[in-house]
């Protein structure tokens, strides 16, 4: 009987030990291990792309993540200071405290303004277009240093940085200035240049007479009513005779059709 009782006690100990071990395993699996591995503490990472950097950082920190600015790049599609990428990707399942690396836009890449000095207006326009810039206003002025017909001044200095599409104004040389307070010689110049010179001298053009001459470039000044060198104080205005490639009968026909 004593032997049988001992056996039962040993059997019960084994049973109780097995049950205890099973409970311990269950506790380890459901309580201890999750606490150790933080299992069940994973969260969906918010999407902070296309948001201003400050807002993105605030959002991530509020959710328990650690935002880090990893890089900044030029990108014309996003304003300066906007988050354009994040790692891990938005909506990834990660643990709290995870580092989130952000790439931020530096805005549109600036452009170096080219040197237009000494170029013709046509070349300057082409160069600006090649550099994704625009030709602004074209001014004319006298220059002792630069020959007639080339750019000698630009509104934005060469080497300055601007955004694409910025307009650059240029000033084109009319050549050396005429003698002070005297009527310049306009013969052989284009009507456009003559108008610019006279405007700078405050001399009004009273009339423009067209004379047929197919051998010359149209609107070349042939005659001027005020002799070159005349003091401007004596000049009230000037009449210019300029060339045209339209024959008199063509001009008459145009005038009749206009009438």
Asked if pLDDT for residue 221 goes beyond 80, the answer is: yes
State the Cα–Cα distance between residues 51 and 61, nearest whole angstrom.
14
Name the more confident of 75 and 16.
75
State the Cα–Cα distance between residues 190 and 243, nearest whole angstrom.
9
Asked if pLDDT for residue 212 goes beyond 80, the answer is: yes
* Average pLDDT of the chain, as a whole number: 87
- Does 42-105 match 110-176 in CATH topology? yes
Domain boundaries, the chain: 42-105, 110-176, 178-259
pLDDT of residue 1: 46
Domain 178-259 has CATH 3.30.10.20: yes
- 237, 204 contact by CB (below 8 A): yes
Percentage with pLDDT > 90 across the chain: 70
Percentage with pLDDT > 70 across the chain: 81
State the Cα–Cα distance between residues 112 and 133, nearest whole angstrom.
10
Q: How confident is the model over 151-188, as pLDDT tens digits?
A: 999 999 999 999 999 999 999 999 888 766 789 999 99
Q: Return the structure tokens found at 144.
A: 């002792």
Alpha carbon 114 to chain centroid distance? 15
State the Cα–Cα distance between residues 242 and 251, nearest whole angstrom.
14
Asked if pLDDT for residue 254 goes beyond 70, the answer is: no
Name the more confident of 133 and 37.
133
Is the entire prediction scored with pTM above 0.85? no
Q: How confident is the model over 95-141, as pLDDT tens digits?
A: 999 999 999 999 999 999 999 999 999 999 999 999 999 999 999 99
Look at the domain 42-105 and name its fold: Trypsin Inhibitor V; Chain A (3.30.10)
User: 236: which DSSP letter?
Assistant: S
Top-tier CATH class for 110-176 = alpha beta
pLDDT of residue 4: 56
Run of H or E including 211: strand 205-212
Q: Return the structure tokens found at 65.
A: 């993540």
């Amino acid at each position: 009987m004593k032997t049988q009782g001992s056996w039962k006690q040993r059997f019960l100990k084994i049973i109780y030990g097995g049950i205890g071990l099973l409970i311990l395993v269950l506790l380890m699996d459901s309580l201890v291990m999750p606490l150790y591995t933080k299992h069940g503490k994973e969260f969906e990472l918010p999407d902070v792309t296309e948001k201003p950097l400050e807002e993105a950082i605030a959002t991530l920190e509020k959710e328990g993540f650690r935002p880090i600015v990893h890089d900044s790049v030029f990108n014309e599609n996003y304003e300066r200071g906007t988050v354009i990428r994040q790692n891990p990707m938005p909506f990834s399942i990660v643990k709290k405290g995870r580092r989130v690396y952000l790439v931020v836009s530096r805005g549109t890449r600036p452009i170096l303004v080219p040197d237009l000095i000494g170029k013709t207006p046509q070349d300057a326009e082409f160069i600006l277009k090649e550099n994704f810039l625009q030709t602004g206003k074209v001014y004319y002025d006298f220059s002792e240093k630069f020959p007639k017909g080339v750019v000698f001044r630009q509104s934005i200095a060469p080497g300055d940085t601007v955004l694409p599409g910025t307009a650059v104004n240029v000033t084109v040389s009319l050549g050396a200035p005429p003698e002070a307070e005297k009527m310049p010689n306009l013969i052989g110049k284009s009507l456009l240049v003559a108008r610019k010179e006279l405007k700078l001298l405050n001399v009004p053009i009273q009339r423009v007479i067209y004379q047929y001459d197919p051998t010359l470039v149209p609107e070349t000044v042939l005659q001027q009513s005020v002799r070159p060198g005349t003091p401007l104080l004596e000049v009230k205005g000037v009449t210019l005779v300029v060339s045209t490639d339209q024959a008199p009968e063509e001009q008459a026909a145009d005038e009749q059709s206009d009438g």
